[in-house]
Structure 1
Amino acid sequence: MTIYAVGDIHGQSARLDRALDMIEADGGPEARIVFLGDYTDRGPDSRGVLDRLIAGRDAGRDWIFLKGNHDRMFLRFLEEGRENDHNIRSGLSWFNPRLGGVQTLGSYGMAASEGPAFLMDANGGLETLASYGIGDRELTLHELAEEAARTVPQAHQDFLASLQLYHATEELLFVHAGIRPGLPLERQVEDDLIWIRDGFLDDSSDHGRLVVHGHTVVPEPMHLGNRVALDTGAGYGDPLTAAVFEGGDVWVLGSGGRVPLVPVG
């Protein structure tokens, strides 16, 4: 069976459109595509990305959507008003432009009139939003969360809540960040599946399936033998990668079609 995978999109709707065009040219409109998560943040058009993905799903496309850490941060803010995640060692707020929440809200017409103001080293070292200006209004975190929950379409919130943690076939395991090596799939925890780096990226053991993931930016798609890394930095303006999997063979799609991706080393 042929399966396509798309790396971290991060609000880059034009790059998503190009990836979908390449996939359709290679595999037709019925192609099965696994999206590896992180649809939102950093890029300019998170709303447009979610619109396209939802439209494809509703049109009956064979598309599978995985949960990324940025997707969870966005939904947690909408549902709970949370701006921090304990997995972010720096303590940065989701609204810090480095994480991209401010860009995401901007795509829904809630752009900050000036940069968001933060309280530094508050709440046990966490960066905390002090105020957020929209036009001539200065909103607190609570007020901003309430307004965002009213502004972001319910269809988008429902989509974020429906995302899968992984997709497995006999030979492949698609997941946003990776897995905890040595643990059976049913014992993997969400924080690892959407956040892990340490203990996974440096592990060369056979995971039983080829793990296909995003989350950690690489300069180009990489096949490490036991895993394939597909986050090539679209959130920072670099290319968005689409790859093809058939059995044990892997290709990357380009303007000229398939390019083999062979294990390094």
Structure 2
Amino acid sequence: MKQTFVVADLHGRLDVLEAALARIEERSPEGGKVVFTGDYIDRGPQSREVIERLRAGPKPGWRWVILKGNHEDMMVRSRLRPAGDRSVRDDERWLANGGTETLDSYNGDIPHSHLTWARDLPSIHRDKHRIYVHAGVDPQVPLSGHDDSILLWLRYPAGKDVQYPGGLHTVHGHTPNPEGPELYKGRTNLDTLAVRTGRLVVGVFDDDRPGGPVDLLEVKVD
């Protein structure tokens, strides 16, 4: 049985990332696929270290799919655009949403290579049975018509199940619930506010079986 493991919002918690990877590798020593759904930076203390770990890549036998989150998008808009092409609002928005902590982790100077890496991350991944994104998808819009304003920023109404046409199950983060994950027929939200709780739940999905996770792997770092 081939499986996909999904890791949601890390927000500068390298300790949580390492704990999650150890648990995943323990579960599947032969390897597999891990999808990261974005928000690797901001708010937590180790944004630089998280990006460096992800850029280093997986062990042999593993495939990583690293998606973009809205916090990577904010950082890119604030730091990568030429000074004359970015607005004060871009800077203020990012800094007010955790960018200050990210800058601190870089001692104020984010390498250009890290910014272009974040800029070039894909915003969506799809397999036979599921759509993986940071925030969500709109069932009224064809996937080809989705842009980052949806994929990185959409908020589902609290408690609402949404089924994308064709029976595709959506796996996302972005909307924090420390009591999560939130499991519905049409979507799974894996954002458990790990930056504050130290608790992250990895979704385990059977590549040959539609729907939600077949298992959940919980890690907790004090």
TM-score (norm 2): 0.85
- After superposing the two structures, state which structure 1 stretch, 234-243 or 179-188, moved more: 234-243
Are the aligned partners of 1:180 and 1:199 in contact in 2 as well (CA < 8 Å)?
no
What displacement does 1:155 show?
2.8
1:206 deviates by 4.6
| Aligned-pair identity (%) | 36
Distance 1:184 1:159, change over 3 A: same
Determine the C-alpha separation between the residues in 2 that align with 1:179 and 1:199.
12
Asked if 1:254 corresponds to 2:218, the answer is yes
C-alpha distance 21-6 of structure 1, shift in aligned 2 (>3 A)? same
Partner Cα distance (2:79, 2:61) in 1: 27
Which stretches in structure 2 are left out of the alignment for 5+ residues?
A: none
Say if 1:59 and 1:70 are closer, same or farther in 2 by CA, change over 3 A.
farther
Which of structures 1 and 2 has the larger relative contact order (alpha carbons within 8 angstroms, sep 6+)? Answer: 2
1:200 offset after TM fit, Å?
Answer: 9.0
One-letter code of the match for 2:193?
A: G
Distance, in Å, in 2 between the alignment partners of 1:213 and 1:252 is 14
1:73-132 Cα offsets, whole Å, 9 max, x none, are 1111111254646xxxxxx63212xx100000000013xxxxxxxxxxxxxxxxxxxxxx
- Which of the two has greater helix per residue? 2
Matched length? 208
Q: Indicate whether 1:5 and 2:16 are aligned.
A: no
TM-score, normalised by the number of residues in structure 1:
0.72
> How far off its partner does 1:54 sit?
0.4
TM-fit CA distance, 1:60: 7.9
* Residue pairs, 1:212-231, within 5 angstroms: 212-218=171-177, 219-231=179-191
Answer yes or no: is the 8 Å Cα contact 1:67–1:164 preserved in 2: yes
Note the C-alpha offset of 1:185. Answer: 0.7
Letter in 2 for 1:254: E
Quickly say closer, same or farther: Cα 1:243–1:203, change in 2 above 3 A: closer
Pick closer, same or farther for the CA change 1:84–1:4 going to 2, 3 Å. Answer: farther
Q: Aligned residue for 2:192?
A: 232
Cα root mean square deviation, aligned: 2.4
Q: How does 1:149-188 map onto structure 2 within 5 Å? A: 151-188=109-146
Q: Offset of 1:217 from its aligned partner?
A: 0.5
How far apart, in 1, do the equivalents of 2:158 and 2:123 lie? 17
2:113, 2:204 → 1: CA distance?
29
Residue 100 (str. 1) matches residue 98 (str. 2): yes
Q: Larger C-alpha radius of gyration, 1 or 2?
A: 1
